[in-house]
A and B are shown apart, each in its own frame.
Chain A
Amino acid sequence: MSTARRSLGAAGSVDTVVVGAGHSGLAMSRVLAAHGVEHLVLERGEVAHAWRHQRWDSLRLLTPNWQTRLPGQHYVGPDPDGYMTSAEVAAFIERYAKFIGAPVRTSTTVTSLRADDERYIVETDRGAWRCRAVVLAHGAHGVALVPELARRLPKSVRTLTAGEYRNAEDLDPGGVLVVGASATGLQLAEEIRRSGRSVTIAVGEHIRLPRLYRGRDIQWWLEAVGILDERFDQVEDLIRARRVPSPQLVGSPERRMLDLNALLALGVEVVGRLVGLDGNRLQFSGSLRNHCAMADLKLARLLERIDRWIEQHGASAIAPPERFGPTPVPAMPRLALDLARAPISTVLWATGFRADYSWLKVPVLDRRGRLRHDGGVIDSPGLYALGLSFMRRRKSSYIHGAEDDVRDLGTHLVEYLRQHKLRQPHPPARTTEHRTLPDALDLRPAAVRVH
């Protein structure tokens, strides 16, 4: 069998390959099937792999259950205002894969993507596929962004990324420095502090949000006001918008608010952005006050916008406006931490991730290694991306953000395939070989067979 797979070489051919069977790759599969596009979804592990293997134990979605939806499937359980655990997200996505009958090839790791005349070659550890279009739906979290100074930290300090962290019990008993103040950094700082460890959190630019505002989940307001639907081609400064860190939120059964104020109340020490390492001394920026002031101002502007929307729409039975006190920045935040003297045994990088593009052999990266794309249409005809930060809309990186993006990009892809019919028909030998292989047969989606 494995010999047969390997002998596929460049013989396996399909119109479109989707890389990754997470929520966005599957949503795209559904759209492609609806358009009758022959395609395959290649998955290195199993469906929803990252949700099963690369999340810390206590993680829940930042979005409420009622908002967790994919084209054709939404939450139907008893707790629409709750937040799914990773296992529940994995089950939700797996149910979706079955529901749409997605042509998923599991345990198939894509090792490279290259262009070959008018087609692309997707090489995997189980043979290669020739195709005309490829959708990169492998997720934006392949590589942890860790500052360069991490390599120079003393050996006595254990470092791990948010992707490697599972729970506080796995950590050494000593103090922990959490670097980063997005949702991840705050959630981990809180959890580790509650385990009894001393925690310091290094804070740069951040987005402060209440969990509930005027009686409703903040995500309800962001959706209703239209903020989540703001488009990439309408926002004033897209580069900046794409760099905005994820908001300080936690999905908890009690729907609590998690901000720096909450961490300070738990006894977490808040310091500025980690900016240097001089010998054993970690150095923190003196800009903490301004970063907190900016977050407080942005929060106030957002709440004013929501209040205006409520006034204009005459929404009834809504709780009165609320304002949240400013972040109580310590008078003299610590500027340095001597690792030889401070009781810090762990540094936890909650500094974000980027997509892994190391396997792309098509020149589509800019000088900083970012994908060159226009709203997910990659700068190489027939290539598409999904799930990147603010890719087409502010919600693009959320599960519910996939629906509009796959509809737009699916339409674009179908049009591309229609306009770029290969000048040469497939060599008959290859087609025959492809069709006679059982592996290649069962990957045709139902929609194709019906036609």
Chain B
Amino acid sequence: MNVSTIKVDNGVNVEALLGARAMLAEAPEGGRFQWRASCNWVRGTHSRSLVQGFYGLGAEQSHKQAFRFDVDHPQVFAAEDNGPTPVEYVAVALASCLTAGVAAVAQNRNIQLRSVEAIVEAGMDIQGILGVDSEVRNGFDGIKVTFRIDADATREEIAALVAQSQRRSAVFDILTNPTNVTVEVQ
């Protein structure tokens, strides 16, 4: 089989991404982005967030449509379970960010993907958020991501894809490194 004649297509426009990288090297100010979400309280722990506009490449941008996210707590927390918990959205963000990275890196390395599945397990002791034990932190005490990847590649090449995806992931960085957070009331 002549592998070199097969066109790898993971649905990622690598040329556009590399072009953007080259362009930003010339005009770094275009790299400033601002991501936004607005959240409205509904009732109890139920809220609804909207995501549509963002800023980047020197101009206001918009998604094709407004995306809506219902967020709530489960019934074991005596809530109505109108949506996933906020921390589950964090798990979603990490899994999807790493998965997108795997696809992009695979395309760039000429590796055809057939299936990619990421399972996220994030541990937490709720004694923290309930204020039972001040020694216990509110957030995750560890996150484990397990990938199952079927691709035209060796085990080592797949491991390298996943490693490089972490290296370039925004959410991986957000979760592993500190970020200044400012919350104000208007």
Contacts and interface: CB of A to CB of B under 8 A. Distances in A.
B is a partner of A: yes
Interface of A: 272, 275-276, 278, 283, 285-287, 290, 293-294, 297, 300-301, 332, 367
A293 B162 CA distance: 10
B123 to A, nearest CB: 11
Contacts of A300: 156
B96 interface: no
Given A294-B167, A332-B142, A286 B156 contact: no
B37 interface: no
A293 B178 contact: no
A293 B159 contact: yes
Contacts of A275: 177-178
15 contacts: A275-B177, A283-B177, A285-B176, A286-B175, A287-B166, A287-B172, A287-B177, A293-B163, A294-B163, A294-B164, A294-B167, A297-B156, A297-B163, A300-B156, A301-B156
Secondary structure at the A interface, as helix, strand, loop or mixed, is mixed
Contacts, number: 37
A272 B160 contact: no
Interface in B168-184: 172-173, 175-178
Classify chain B's interface size: 10 to 19
A297 B160 contact: yes
A272 B175 CA distance: 13
Given A283-B178, A297-B160, A290 B166 contact: yes
A27 to B, nearest CB: 32
A286 B178 contact: no
Given A300-B156, A301-B156, A290 B163 contact: yes
Contacts of B159: 293, 297
A293 B145 CA distance: 14
B177 A285 contact: yes
Nearest to A281: B178
B177 A286 contact: yes
Given A275-B178, A293-B159, 12 more contacts: A283-B177, A283-B178, A285-B177, A287-B172, A290-B163, A294-B164, A294-B167, A297-B156, A297-B163, A301-B156, A332-B142, A367-B28
